Amino acid sequence: MIDHTAVNVSDQDAARSFYSQALEPLGYSLAFEHEVFMGFADSAGLSLGVVRRDPVGGAHVAFKCDNHATVDAFYEAAMAAGGSDNGPPGIRAHYHENYYGAFVHDVDGNNIEAVCQKPQS
Q: pLDDT digits over 13-31, tens only?
A: 999 999 999 999 999 999 9
Res. 1: pLDDT tops 80: no
Q: Please give the pLDDT value at position 68.
A: 98
Res. 60: pLDDT tops 70: yes
Average the pLDDT over 57-68 and give the result: 96
Res. 40: pLDDT tops 90: yes
Closest to 44 (Cα-Cα) out of 63, 22, 61? 63
Average the pLDDT over 47-68 and give the result: 96
Q: pLDDT digits over 68-77, tens only?
A: 999 999 999 9
Q: Please give the pLDDT value at position 3.
A: 83
DSSP codes, 31-82: EEEETTEEEEEETTEEEEEEEE-SSPS--EEEEE-SSHHHHHHHHHHHHHTT
**CATH number attached to the domain at 5-51+59-116:** 3.10.180.10
Closest to 77 (Cα-Cα) out of 89, 66, 67? 89
Res. 121: pLDDT tops 80: no
Mean pLDDT, the chain, rounded, equals 96
The CA angle 23-29-33, to the nearest 5 degrees, is: 120
pTM: predicted TM-score of the whole model, two decimal places: 0.94
